[in-house]
Structure 1
Amino acid sequence: MRSLAGLAAIVAAASVYLYLLSTHLPPGPKQLQAASEGEDDGVEEYRLKFPSDLDELRQLAEMLKFYKREHHGYVLLLYCSAYLYKQSFAIPGSSFLNLLAGAIFGPWEGLMLACLLTTSGSTFCFLLSSAFGKQHVVKLFPQKVALLQKKCEENRSSLFFFLLFLRFFPMTPNWFLNITCPVLNIPMPIFFFSVFIGLIPYNFICVRTGTLLSEISSMDDIFSWGTLAQLLAIAVMALVPGALIKQYSKSHLKVDGLDSNGSGPSLTQQDRKRQ
């Protein structure tokens, strides 16, 4: 109970910080102009929330780009805080934030941010699980933890490449790997670099897609040579690293028994009830 209370306190403090940060927006250009003219009506109010679909993502991207013109530091702090919040507490939805990085910061700054924040957030999740949740992870997912532990032991000599394989081919969700690795006694350096390198293709795809979504305003834009070239680059980035890791796994890794449909090792009825 003490561990759960400590984790709850950290989540509560982070939630309060993120709430205060997102509700105390600096005045945007339109708000400043309206205030200087003495007009209170028509001044647009902005409310921030995590996007749940592409329409909300577009609206949020436009609003943050609007703020970024005069408050780049604030937008950067807000984005980093929201990303770390999701990653640290294993909350699904980081793909939308990767898309948002491309839409707001562009392809290269967005990719750098996504890679750094993914790795940092996953490391925080690893540390939180190690400090507060190891026993609870084992109780909630005994079958999945046992299978992953067996596979880690079988691939102990090539542990880094085994973890890369799991990141390239998400046979078990990334958030589950983050909270389970402390239970599996994965060394921190191996975990850190496997996340950083293993998620580069995924981050690249999401960020480039977000950049394209922010640039496309009509169907004609989709079929332009520039857009098609970017889509080809995304496809290559997605396929080539995965093909290399898969080829390596055939001769060096033991991955038999892992589900290949992306849902991870199957859950027993007992596991489902505990969830």
Structure 2
Amino acid sequence: MANIIKLFIIVIVASSWLYFLTKFAPSIDESEEVNLRFPNSLDELKHLSEILKKYYEKNCFFVILLFCSAYLYKQSFMIPGSALLNLLAGAIFGTWLALPIVCLLTAVGASVCFLISKNFGKDILEKFFPDRVRRLQTKVMANSGRLLYFLLFLRIFPVTPNWFINVASPIAGVPLPLFFITVLVGLLPYNLVCVQAGEVLSTLSAVSDLLTPTVLINLTIAATLFLVPTFISKEQRRHTS
């Protein structure tokens, strides 16, 4: 019960901070009522990007603070929509500023999710996802000598949901520093695709346009490259045993 109360307080504080930012946003046009909220569709995203571009010209600090807060909120509490925020970052900041921002926010937000799960989520995961947690634990143990490459592969190859890796990693015994690094590096290709698409936001008709066959092939190749050290390690042990 005490853990539930603590988690509830964390959610309330984080939600209140976001509400404060949006409620008391600086004015950019007194004749226009501005509604700042999470985008749930591509059309809403385009509209929000236009508003924030105006903000960014006059209140760049506020836009960065609001974007970072919203991104961390989504990542920390496993709220869907990070792809839309990646697009938004590309539209507002441009690819080469947006990329380090979203990569860092992804890693920090996922690490907060990791810590929340570690402190509050163990019983819930073992109750509702016992088989999946057990499989991840087995794979982590089997790849303990090459865990870095294994976790990078999981991040780059879009098979295992990222939200599940985030919440199950502490239960499976993944160290937080290694977890942070693999999120930061492993999701870089996907984040790059998103922020680049954000620069041409007006030409997109659906978020699914991001995952074209070419993009998926490139992600598969990148993920396969991270497995090479694993195969080399296996061969070395086989020849030396």
Q: Under TM normalisation by the shorter chain, which class is it?
A: 0.7 to 0.9
Which structure has the larger Rg?
1
Q: Following superposition of structure 1 onto structure 2, how do residues 79-158 of structure 1 map, counting pairs within 5 Å?
A: 79-158=67-146
Q: CA deviation at 1:247?
A: 4.9
List runs of 5+ in structure 1 lacking aligned partners. Answer: 32-42, 218-230, 254-275
Q: CA deviation at 1:234?
A: 6.6
Q: Note if 1:19 corresponds to 2:19.
A: yes
Q: Note if 1:163 corresponds to 2:151.
A: yes
Name 2:49's counterpart in structure 1. 61
1:47 to 21, 35, 53: 35
Name 1:245's counterpart in structure 2. 226
Q: Note if 1:2 corresponds to 2:2.
A: yes
- Give the root-mean-square deviation of aligned CA atoms: 2.2
Higher helix share: 2
Over the matched positions of the two proteins, sequence identity in percent amounts to: 46
Contact 2:146–2:230 (CA under 8 A) maintained in structure 1: no
Q: Using the alignment, how far apart are the partners of 1:123 and 1:134 within structure 2?
A: 16
> Displaced runs of 4+ in structure 1, greater than 4 A?
233-237, 246-253
Q: Using the alignment, how far apart are the partners of 2:130 and 2:105 within structure 1?
A: 29
Structure 2 length-normalised TM: 0.87
Q: Following superposition of structure 1 onto structure 2, how do residues 68-83 of structure 1 map, counting pairs within 5 Å?
A: 68-83=56-71
Q: CA deviation at 1:81?
A: 0.2
1:179 to 163, 167, 173: 167
**Higher mean C-alpha deviation, range 70-79 or range 187-196:** 187-196
Q: Using the alignment, how far apart are the partners of 1:210 and 1:166 within structure 2?
A: 25
Deviations 1:79-113 (A, max 9, x none): 00000000011111101000000001110111011
Q: CA deviation at 1:236?
A: 8.3
* Matched length: 226
Q: CA deviation at 1:130?
A: 1.2
Name 1:271's counterpart in structure 2. none
Q: Note if 1:198 corresponds to 2:156.
A: no
Inter-CA distance 249–92: structure 2 relative to 1 (3 Å threshold)? farther
Inter-CA distance 239–145: structure 2 relative to 1 (3 Å threshold)? closer
Inter-CA distance 184–243: structure 2 relative to 1 (3 Å threshold)? closer
Q: CA deviation at 1:3?
A: 1.2
Contact 2:107–2:183 (CA under 8 A) maintained in structure 1: yes
Contact 1:208–1:234 (CA under 8 A) maintained in structure 2: no
Deviations 1:149-200 (A, max 9, x none): 1111111111111111110113221111111111011111111101111000
Q: Using the alignment, how far apart are the partners of 2:185 and 2:224 within structure 1?
A: 15
Q: Using the alignment, how far apart are the partners of 1:201 and 1:187 within structure 2?
A: 23
